[in-house]
Structure 1
């Protein structure tokens, strides 16, 4: 799931700390060095992102969620897969 390279990363994102976890995944505070901002990353536990059907559905839903604009909905910035696990990169809101 997460590469160990001095700093803990997933994709280009540097993980800072775990914010929480639930039945579907773990959420991390992370840093995006390309855009110089903090983000939240949800890593889907046992997602099966190597499965073509799962990955197609995950991409479709991530794009749909990413198209939503509302003050009460976090913005989705990115999505991807690392070491067989899907992840969503979202706006980080403290609190």
Structure 2
């Protein structure tokens, strides 16, 4: 009887952990639209803090939308290595 309770508890814990992992993975996969995102959301990208997030917004307001990840190199302080770090996390 004790073994059945422990097995059931272990199964329940495993289900909860899998559900949490699925939720976290779904959140990680949702790309950020750099043409519409606010500074707080942009700052979540690797290598982009609050000041670069504001610079991204200023650049898009001044010179128009970004069409690709490589366009983000128009922003001072964002180079090819930074773009590669978040390329799969952005959309346009």
TM-score range, shorter chain: under 0.3
TM-score (norm 1): 0.24
Question: Which protein is richer in strand relative to its size?
Answer: 1
Q: Which has the higher contact order (CA 8 A, sep 6+)?
A: 2
Structure (1 or 2) with the larger CA radius of gyration: 2
Question: Which protein is richer in helix relative to its size?
Answer: 2
TM-score (norm 2): 0.25
